[in-house]
Amino acid sequence: MSVPILEVVDLHAAYGRIEVLRGVDLAVPRGAVMALLGPNGAGKSTLVKVISGQKEATSGDIHLAGVHVRKARSDELARVGLCTIPEGRSVFPNLTVEENLRLMSYAGVPAPAILDTAYSYFPRLHERRDQLAGTMSGGEQQMLAMSRALASDPALLLLDELSMGLAPLIVDELYETVARIAESGVSILCIEQFARTALRVSDYAAVMSGGRIVATGEPGEILDTMADVILGGAA
120 to 56, 63, 84, 113, 181: CA distances (angstroms)? 38, 34, 22, 11, 14
Residue of the chain from 21, 24, 84, 177 that contacts another protein (CB under 8 A): 84
The one-character DSSP state at 192 is -
Residue of the chain from 1, 40, 130, 184 that contacts another protein (CB under 8 A): 40
Which residue from 104, 96, 98 is spatially nearest to 132, judged by alpha carbons?
A: 96
Residue of the chain from 47, 140, 182, 213 that contacts another protein (CB under 8 A): 140
Phi then psi for 200, rounded to 5 degrees?
Answer: -60, -35
Binding to another protein in span 12-31, by CB under 8 A: 16-18
User: Which three-class secondary structure state does DSSP give residue 90?
Assistant: coil
Least separation in angstroms between residue 54's CB and another protein is: 6
User: Using CA atoms, how far apart are residues 60 and 178, in angstroms rounded to an integer?
Assistant: 29
Interface with another protein (CB under 8 A), residue total 75
| Binding of another protein by 141 (CB under 8 A) | yes
User: Using CA atoms, how far apart are residues 104 and 98, in angstroms rounded to an integer?
Assistant: 10
Binding to another protein in span 201-220, by CB under 8 A: 207, 209-210
Q: For residues 70 and 89, which CB has a smaller minimum distance to another protein in the complex?
A: 89
| Binding of another protein by 226 (CB under 8 A) | yes
User: Using CA atoms, how far apart are residues 117 and 100, in angstroms rounded to an integer?
Assistant: 14
Least separation in angstroms between residue 152's CB and another protein is: 8
The answer to whether residues 155 and 82 touch, using CB atoms and an 8 Å cutoff, is: yes
| Binding of another protein by 227 (CB under 8 A) | yes
Binding to another protein in span 148-167, by CB under 8 A: 148, 161, 163-167
Least separation in angstroms between residue 190's CB and another protein is: 13
Produce one character per residue of 97-126: b if its CB has 16 or more CB atoms within 10 Å, e if not. bbebbbebbebebeeeebbebbbebbeebe
Binding to another protein in span 98-117, by CB under 8 A: 99, 102-108, 111
Handedness of CA 155, 120, 114, 86 (dihedral sign): negative
Q: For residues 27 and 109, which CB has a smaller minimum distance to another protein in the complex?
A: 109
The one-character DSSP state at 20 is E
| Binding of another protein by 232 (CB under 8 A) | yes
| Binding of another protein by 132 (CB under 8 A) | yes
Least separation in angstroms between residue 20's CB and another protein is: 9
Q: For residues 4 and 53, which CB has a smaller minimum distance to another protein in the complex?
A: 53
